[in-house]
Chains A and B, each alone.
Chain A
Amino acid sequence: MRRAYKYAVLTAMIVSTLALALAASAGGLGYALPFPAVRNLAYWYLRTTYNPFMPKFTASAPEAVTAIVWDYRGLDTLFETSVFFLAIIASMALMRGIEVRAPESINLSKYGMSAIVKTVTRITVAIILAASASIALHGQLTPGGGFQGGATAAVAPLVIIVIFSLYFAVGSGIKKKSMLTLRTLGLLGIGVTSFAVIVAGLILGKAAYVFQNQPKEAAPIGLPSHILGVPMGGTLLLFNIFEFLAVAAGFTIVFLLLSVPEESVRKVLEGGEGHD
């Protein structure tokens, strides 16, 4: 009976999907579904993202997505970064009092997987880090940027923890405190970069906006758009580097905390955490 009910629900969902799709493609919505053109706003973004003929409007990055993320809608991304910051801080607050630390006099070679896996991982980690740095640093030229590069780079410590053990990771410098420092540096860099042009404007005696990238009509100042003929996107490159640091280090912290052995966490919890 219950099985028949499940199949009936499944069939009803598939049939209604197909029926709604049929109605929509027959003109039920009033328009065809793959829209024939992008909206005017998107057209404006595509038109101005890298346009040497409109120097007062361009973001000077051939990649429109990065230009939107850190130039046209930079404030959105700043607050997204603060949500990320708060989520990581909240995770760390939940796990407060729990130390990520290797026991003294430990034989690291006993832990982890076999020698073959470890050797392959040594090579792979280098490749992961190189690829993630390339994703982050070429954010203004090719698809990619700080968020994607950082999420890719965070895979490297995760692989190290799984293959070599947590104690090896902590012993080789992937510590909670150092990652926290790195992440704070990244966030600080984002904050400094958003004020970089306004500070330059104050020094040079010109008007400028917060979060400005390229020269605008009433604020004729901006960071260099090209270095050695390669488009750098002004502040976009700096934002990508700092966001890369913040995201990679933030995720490394939570991976470290997630892989703390269950016994030591329970010891802290049963030892009356929060009562002293």
Chain B
Amino acid sequence: MIDVNAFLFSVLVFSLIMNLGISLYGIFWRPSLVKKIIALTILGDTANVLAIVVGYRAWIAPNRPPIPPVLTTWKPTAADLSKFSSLAVDPLPQALVLTAVVIGLAVTVFLVFLTIQVYRLHGTTDVRKIAKLKG
């Protein structure tokens, strides 16, 4: 018997993997540098979402969803702490993704500068023409 929730979650995971495939197509086959950058940002964002999804955990009971990894009491008791660690999602992928988003933005900006300068100097963003340039 197939669980509907598990099926929907699997659809999410596999559509993210398909999205990775589409963005790789964009990076490898589209000749324009601008489209390559767009595909690269899609690749990065999909990888980030995939990392977050990996850190997700199943609901313990139908009325007990997982909580964010933030403790809301400043004077926790032992019961608070065990409830927190039994309900919260994995914080590690979130920590990696939060830096990856900002670094990805900085690297994208660098690639945009590179593309702009190539366009200004040679008047094209087509990699097939750029590869034939001399000097």
Contact = CB atoms under 8 A, between A and B. Distances in A.
A43 B98 contact: no
B81 A47 contact: yes
Mostly, the A contact residues are helix
A209 interface: no
Nearest to A265: B120
B102 A17 contact: no
Nearest to A82: B103
A41 interface: yes
Mostly, the B contact residues are helix
Interface string B82-110: 00110011111011101111110111011
A22 interface: yes
Contact of A21 (B14, B55, B116): B14
A20 B10 CA distance: 8
Contact of B10 (A21, A67, A68): A21
A21 B120 contact: no
Q: Report the contact-size class of chain A (Cβ under 8 Å from the partner).
A: 35 or more
B107 A43 contact: no
Contacts, number: 176
Contact of A69 (B70, B95, B116, B117): B95
Given A53-B78, A142-B70, A143-B68, A38 B55 contact: yes
Q: Report the contact-size class of chain B (Cβ under 8 Å from the partner).
A: 35 or more
A87 B109 contact: yes
Interface string B52-90: 000111110000000011111111101001001100111
A233 to B, nearest CB: 12
Contacts of B94: 65
A51 B81 contact: yes
B84 A24 contact: no
B114 A94 contact: yes
B2 A22 contact: yes
B56 to A, nearest CB: 6
A42 B99 contact: no
Contact of A17 (B14, B57, B59, B112): B14
19 contacts: A13-B22, A17-B11, A24-B6, A25-B6, A25-B7, A38-B55, A45-B92, A46-B91, A47-B81, A50-B76, A63-B69, A65-B69, A65-B91, A68-B91, A77-B99, A91-B113, A143-B68, A254-B113, A258-B109
